[in-house]
Amino acid sequence: MNKERVQTKSQNPVMIYIRNNLGMLIGLIAICILISLLQPNFRTVKNMFNIMRSISITGILGFGMTMCIIINGIDLAQGSVVGFTSCLCAWSITNAGLPFGAAIVISLAAGLLVGVFNGFFLSCFPLPPFVVTLATQLIGRGLCYVITRGNMINVDASFGALGNGYFLNVIPIPVIILLVLFLISMLLLSKSKFGRDVYAIGGNKEAARFSGINIRKVTWIVYAYSGLMAAICGIISCSRVTTGQPTTGNAMEFDAVAACYLGGISYLGGEGRMGSTLLGAIVLGVLANGMSMLQIPWYIQNITKGLIILIAVFFDVMRKHRVKE
């Protein structure tokens, strides 16, 4: 057996983060410098928080999506769960006359239930996640129209405090929620036994099974978590515009997937960290914000976004290919 050198790399978590995400961090800084040279308003603290608020939903969905992708799955139902829970929240407040707290709890429970529904099919039967969650996506979107009867449901303006308010008059509340959920998701994935089991299943399902890991339970929790994240986003969306709209959250799961891939979550599963997903979401947010400030039309923004995702994944795959050889 070869004598191999013990590598002495820094164990400081910040250094590890920078090392793991170096490419994306350099890219982010380069984009920021470029945009601020062209548009000085970009650099203001207010704009930074605007960006953070704009990505809060993508980011939160991304946390759920990251776990799904790591276990070699995907949750395409997220966007429609956002819509469904936001409509349900609005309906509970306006039509059922429930207090805000109760409406929020009902919405969270509904999102969790959809996740449990997905998890049931994916953990108890060998069904492909793509198809199951696509079906749930359609069901969820249909339910949006059932609840709202195709119209918008207006909510009392005071409910808007959640989505539009500020903490200490500077930090938008959705950003606080984003950061809290980031912390929880990160600890869950990187520190807990559950998190290790997630990586083990994504890396080698057989090995996980042989090691006595309860694959069914872990899969179930992962999809339930994703549903819960989507419900939180639904409530924020509802509060932000103080209406429940059946189109809310349309195709949002793809932004979450984009954030994951951009951050470097392996599309083959088994690899990736919450910090990378958050970074991916931030890059997407900065791009959207910067391009809007530079008055670049939205369709060009889409083209740019698409190309950037393609390039990022291309380099990620090439790098892994090299490591393999």
Q: Which of 209, 307, 310, 315 binds another protein (CB under 8 A)?
A: 209
316 binding another protein? (CB under 8 A):
no
Say whether 293 sits in a helix, a strand or coil: helix
73 binding another protein? (CB under 8 A):
no
Q: Which of 166, 203, 241, 250 binds another protein (CB under 8 A)?
A: 203
What span, in angstroms and rounded, lies between the C-alpha atoms of 5 and 8? 9
Residue type at position 240: R
DSSP code at position 7: P
**Closest distance between another protein and the C-beta of residue 57, in Å?**
28
What is the end-to-end Cα distance of the chain in Å, rounded? 19
Which residue, 236 or 265, is less far from another protein as judged by CB? 265
CB atoms under 10 Å from CB of 147, counted, come to: 21
Q: Encoding tokens for residue 85?
A: 């829970």
Written as one string, the DSSP assignment of 86-98 is: HHHHHHHHHTS--
Q: Encoding tokens for residue 25?
A: 């961090």
Q: Which of 195, 249, 264, 290 binds another protein (CB under 8 A)?
A: 195
Q: Which of 187, 251, 294, 318 binds another protein (CB under 8 A)?
A: 187
Which residue, 2 or 295, is less far from another protein as judged by CB? 2
Q: Which of 22, 109, 207, 300 binds another protein (CB under 8 A)?
A: 207
Reference 67, options 231, 247, 206, 192; nearest CA is: 192
The interface region with another protein, picked from 39-47, 73-81, 192-200, 301-309 by CB under 8 A, is 192-200
Q: Encoding tokens for residue 45?
A: 């603290």
Reference 230, options 79, 71, 32; nearest CA is: 79
Which residue, 197 or 253, is less far from another protein as judged by CB? 197
Which residue, 48 or 215, is less far from another protein as judged by CB? 215
- Write out the residues near another protein by the rule CB under 8 A: 1-4, 6-7, 187, 191-193, 195-197, 199-200, 202-204, 206-214, 266, 270-271, 323
